[in-house]
Chains A and B, each alone.
Chain A
Amino acid sequence: MEKILYYFFNWPLIAPHLPAMLKGFAVTLQMAALTIAFGLTLGLALAVLRTYGNKLLNAALIFYVDVFRAIPQLVILVLIFFALPGVGIVLDPVTATVVALSLVLAAFAEEIFWSGIAAVARGQWEAGRCGGLTFNQTLFSIILPQVVRIAIPPLTNRAIGITKGTTLGSVIAVPELLNVASSVQSTIANPTALTAAAVLFCLIFLPFVRLTRWMEGHYAPKR
């Protein structure tokens, strides 16, 4: 027990390193915010494009989505960071992480928005068109507002899952929370740094996990 306290909850020992860890935490938050903003925007744009029913475009879209769903995030990140320089595209680690995660989130978000579109009753489209609205007007003012509502719970879940991937940045030396915590741990030879990182990660993600639980009840169809 004493050993556990000494090695995992040794707060005085990591106190001097806390500012560095908070800095890492800020990098994590920044990357998470950027990933969510880019990923969701791109995902929604792709889903909207898909409604126009251009066969060639849709085949390309589905290919994109499938590829980014099938290949692990970390593999995509490593490819972007280590392989793209081969064609002269050099991204710094933070940008590479945000780009990789955004591309993956966009693929998943497109699928979620698309199944949201499937969930809106066909009559909504027909009513819009019969009421004299154009295809675009129906899409943007009748269908999408309902889609977003349906898509929020699964999107939150997926966004949590993918922003947790910001930790993968530590593999390519992004100075985010996990990376800083690992190096503090080896400096002070005490894993309390990892405990502190774990606590900080829980602080950001736990509220969102709780939120999805609440939304599940709130948005659930009444039986």
Chain B
Amino acid sequence: MELIDTFFNADIFLKIWPLLLSGLWLTLGLAALSVPLAAAIGLAVAMAYHQHHKWLNRLLIAYVDCLRAFPPLVLLIFIFYGCPFIGLQFNDITATVLALVLNGSSYYAEIFRAGLESVPRGQEEAARSAGLSAPQTMAHVLVPQGVRNVMPDLASNTLELIKQTSIASAVALQELLRAAQIGQGLYYNPTPLVAAALIYLVLLWPLVRAISRMQKPVVIPR
């Protein structure tokens, strides 16, 4: 019983629910901004890479690799606390979205690149010789097939990006995790944290299941 009072305290949960709800909306807002922006930049980088321009590609690989090597929290702290020194002041939401988009776009770029490369070369040649221009070939032939080939990776990267919005709590942005931490501090009870974890679980479980279902089933003869 004591366990329930500590971790699943209904009174505290009801009192803290409005705060959690406003945090949830902010989390969803951050995700809704970051995911499309990061995916769009990632796709643009992958399409530029596909031009096979030697120097441009070196630059793009440097961009992608450096951002993949950078912990997103370091990026966020750098943008939020470092940049104001040279007069670049970002508010907490902009800084978070910027960090998430920079980091997320590098992963999306790698995935889209692999997708574009997975389309057989004959497809591009056939489209070009049928009279499609290079941009038309990209838009109607390469991207649709390439994206379909990497759907599972795109979905799991999107999942990662949504979860990453929780680092915004480090710059005191009151998203779901931060709201729960405030609630925990107010009532000196971990129920709000448990509630936040359960909200994440309910929110993202369908996506996790969908990703698992995209995988090949395992058949082990016994």
Contact = CB atoms under 8 A, between A and B. Distances in A.
Interface string B186-222: 0001100110110011011101110010011111111
Nearest to B177: A75
Contact of B3 (A87, A161, A206): A87
Contact of A86 (B72, B78, B190, B219): B190
Interface residues of B, number: 57
Given A135-B222, A198-B74, A185 B81 contact: yes
Interface in A70-91: 70-76, 78-79, 82-83, 86-87
Dominant SS among interface residues on chain A: helix
Interface residues of A, number: 60
A99 interface: no
Given A72-B163, A167-B73, A194-B82, 9 more contacts: A8-B85, A8-B86, A69-B208, A72-B164, A117-B220, A194-B81, A198-B78, A201-B74, A206-B65
Instruction: Give 9 closest A-B pairs by Cβ, nearest first.
Output: A83-B190, A191-B82, A205-B69, A72-B163, A164-B71, A72-B166, A70-B204, A118-B218, A7-B85
23 contacts: A3-B86, A8-B85, A51-B220, A53-B222, A62-B212, A66-B205, A66-B209, A69-B159, A70-B200, A70-B203, A72-B200, A73-B166, A82-B193, A83-B193, A118-B215, A118-B217, A122-B219, A167-B71, A168-B167, A201-B70, A205-B69, A206-B65, A213-B61
Interface of A: 3-4, 7-8, 51, 53, 62, 66-67, 69-76, 78-79, 82-83, 86-87, 111, 114-115, 117-119, 122, 125-126, 129, 135, 160-161, 164-168, 170-171, 178, 182, 185, 190-191, 194-195, 197-198, 201-202, 205-206, 208-210, 213
